[in-house]
């Protein structure tokens, strides 16, 4: 059994990180620090463990739709504004840190056989859905490696922590992203 707070009930899944931004000020070979203003969109699709599903059913015995669920998927969407500071270690290698705020939506769709009859039969396998919108804060660190000249693609590795506020205060994500930026 995992220590309290370690087992979230979610399984690994897949995600997408997309963003854009611009550098503030002119690049200079004398300055190692540079500020970028960026906006990011994060999407995560995660499975829900059978243990977490069984726990939800046992804590809500009067919810008939939930009792019919045989599986579940969780989806998280966020859009954040993230000022980013990059520090050039070498000509082609830089590290960066970011932090910001924005919006987070989480939803959990429970799937299974519906026994609501023809009128209440869902059009898909979903028998119950929950979701909520709130503010969010995020922070992260990363590594950039310039592949060729100054106008070429940049390979990056990034770790990020995203935490929901208000109705999503129990929702936290820690995605690790690998990709290319220009």
CATH of the domain at 53: 2.40.160.20
Q: Report the SS3 class of residue 6.
A: coil
Domain ranges, residue 110 = 13-18+33-181
Evaluate whether residue 6 is within a structural domain.
no
Q: Which of 48-52, 121-125, 128-132, 142-146 has the highest mean pLDDT?
A: 142-146
Evaluate whether residue 8 is within a structural domain.
no
Reported as a single tens digit per residue, the pLDDT across 47-58 is 999 999 999 899
Evaluate whether residue 24 is within a structural domain.
no
Average pLDDT across the chain, whole number: 87
How does DSSP classify residue 53?
H
Non-local CB neighbours of 150 within 8 Å, separated by 6+ positions: none
């Amino acid at each position: 059994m995992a220590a309290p707070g370690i087992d979230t009930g979610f399984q690994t899944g897949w995600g997408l990180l997309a963003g854009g931004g611009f550098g503030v000020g002119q690049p200079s070979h004398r300055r190692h620090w540079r500020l970028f203003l960026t906006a990011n969109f994060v999407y995560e699709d995660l499975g829900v463990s059978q243990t977490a599903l069984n726990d939800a059913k046992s804590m809500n015995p009067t919810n008939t739709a939930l009792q019919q669920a045989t599986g579940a998927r969780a989806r998280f969407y966020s859009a954040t504004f993230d000022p980013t500071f990059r520090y050039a270690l070498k000509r082609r290698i830089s590290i960066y840190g970011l932090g910001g705020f924005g919006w987070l939506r989480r939803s959990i769709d429970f799937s299974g056989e519906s026994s609501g009859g023809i009128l209440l039969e869902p059009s898909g396998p979903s028998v119950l859905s929950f979701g909520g919108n709130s503010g969010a804060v995020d922070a992260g660190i990363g590594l950039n490696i310039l592949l060729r000249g100054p106008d070429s693609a940049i390979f990056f590795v990034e770790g990020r922590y995203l935490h929901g506020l208000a109705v999503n205060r129990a929702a936290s994500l820690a995605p690790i992203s690998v990709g290319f930026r220009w």
